[in-house]
């Protein structure tokens, strides 16, 4: 990881740690220009009043997002859902209600202060089908093929390695699994410099992908049925958007494209005694786990 990338991640971590502390002290927070000032583009006002009223006040106050991914994720009873970049836990709590006692909602965040706030909110809500994990969205600490739905609310734009986020999301999803994401997306005509002129990185603007870049990134990771629907403007040429995509039932690792039939799942001579990893730095087991496909024997 480059020094610039490390510095950006630490800047993001400090910003959201401070936001969590402010919420714990009784302030409100959002992803917009000031960490304790909400507006119509970001924050809890993007949720229906009945959703807000059913949750702890601190979970609502800590809403940092640019949308409501639970409204489009079509969560079903018994499903396992993962919120990447879960913050104060508002989307995890809403998801836990939708999947019910036979399902489970995971929240993943890299910030200790946000995790502490989320755990407190879960306790106040009396939720028992929730688990919060510490980690980054570029290296999700869950096994492959274990999650039905991945959601995220204005967090992927903050990542300094978005291809890794898409690859990891694809890996943890079960075949047939899906994503329902709210994120900031830029018009294709805007260059990275022009995006940066409209807002900073931690304000969810400068790091946003364009519509074309977002689609290409998801498809490169293996997703199909990619849909990106803008909902409202957050800056000139920048939009909050709902992103949907599906992991195919029959998964072929993108890295295996153009390779002989004996190569799959990150290994050569797939499912034979002669298996060897295509990446010499990995073991056969590591290669198969990283690929997220079904050939694990």
Whether 222 has a pLDDT exceeding 90, the answer reads yes
CA distances from 119 to 71, 132, 271 (A): 23, 7, 42
Specify the 3-state DSSP secondary structure of 294. Answer: coil
Q: Tell me what the mean pLDDT of segment 95-118 comes to.
A: 92
pLDDT of residue 66 exceeding 90: no
Q: What is the pLDDT of residue 25?
A: 56
- What is the token pair recorded at 230? 């803008």
Structure token digits, residue 2: 């480059």
pLDDT digits (tens, 9 = 90+) for 240-254: 899 999 999 975 544
Supply the pLDDT for residue 16. Answer: 56
Q: What is the pLDDT of residues 231-287, one digit of tens each?
A: 889 889 999 899 999 999 975 544 444 444 445 667 776 666 567 777 766 677 777
The residue whose two tokens read 């991914």 is 69
Using the predicted structure, report yes or no on whether residue 145 has a pLDDT greater than 80. yes
Q: How does residue 64 score in pLDDT terms, banded at 50, 70 and 90?
A: low
Mean pLDDT to the nearest integer, 213-236: 95
Distance CA 114, CA 109 (A): 7
Higher pLDDT, 26 or 88: 88
Asked if residue 177 has pLDDT above 60, the reply is yes
Q: Please check the confidence at residue 102 and state whether its pLDDT lies above 90.
A: yes
Give the pairing of strands 147-153 and 80-84. parallel
Whose structure tokens read 């999803």?
Answer: 173
Residue 93, by phi and psi: left (phi above 0), alpha (psi -120 to 50) or beta?
alpha
Q: Which helix (H) or strand (E) holds 235?
A: strand 224-235
What CA–CA distance (Å, rounded) separates 6 from 48? 37
Res 96 pLDDT > 90: yes
């Amino acid at each position: 990881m480059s020094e610039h990338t490390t510095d950006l991640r630490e800047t993001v971590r400090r910003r959201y740690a401070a936001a969590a502390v402010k919420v714990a002290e009784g302030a409100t927070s959002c992803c917009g220009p000031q960490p304790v000032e909400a507006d119509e583009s970001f924050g809890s006002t993007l949720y229906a009043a009945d959703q807000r009223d059913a949750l702890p006040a601190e979970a609502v106050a800590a809403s940092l997002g640019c949308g409501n991914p639970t409204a489009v994720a079509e969560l079903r009873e018994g499903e396992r859902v993962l919120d990447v970049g879960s913050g104060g836990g508002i989307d995890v709590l809403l998801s836990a209600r939708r999947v019910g006692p036979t399902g489970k909602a995971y929240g993943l965040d890299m910030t200790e202060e946000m995790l502490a706030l989320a755990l407190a909110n879960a306790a106040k809500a009396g939720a028992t089908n929730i688990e919060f994990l510490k980690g980054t969205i570029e290296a999700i600490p869950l096994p492959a093929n274990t999650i039905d739905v991945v959601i995220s609310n204005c967090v992927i734009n903050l990542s300094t390695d978005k291809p890794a986020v898409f690859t990891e999301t694809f890996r943890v999803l079960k075949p047939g699994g899906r994503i329902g994401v709210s994120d900031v997306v830029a018009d294709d005509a805007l260059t990275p410099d022009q995006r940066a002129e409209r807002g900073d990185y931690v304000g969810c603007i400068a790091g946003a992908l364009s519509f074309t870049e977002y689609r290409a990134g998801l498809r490169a990771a293996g997703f199909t049925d990619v849909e990106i629907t803008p909902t409202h403007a957050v800056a000139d040429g920048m939009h909050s958007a709902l992103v949907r995509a599906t992991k195919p039932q029959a998964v072929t690792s993108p890295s295996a494209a153009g390779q002989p039939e004996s190569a799959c799942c990150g290994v050569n001579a797939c499912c034979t005694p002669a298996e060897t990893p295509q990446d010499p730095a990995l073991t056969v087991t590591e290669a198969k786990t990283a690929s997220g496909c079904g050939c694990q024997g």
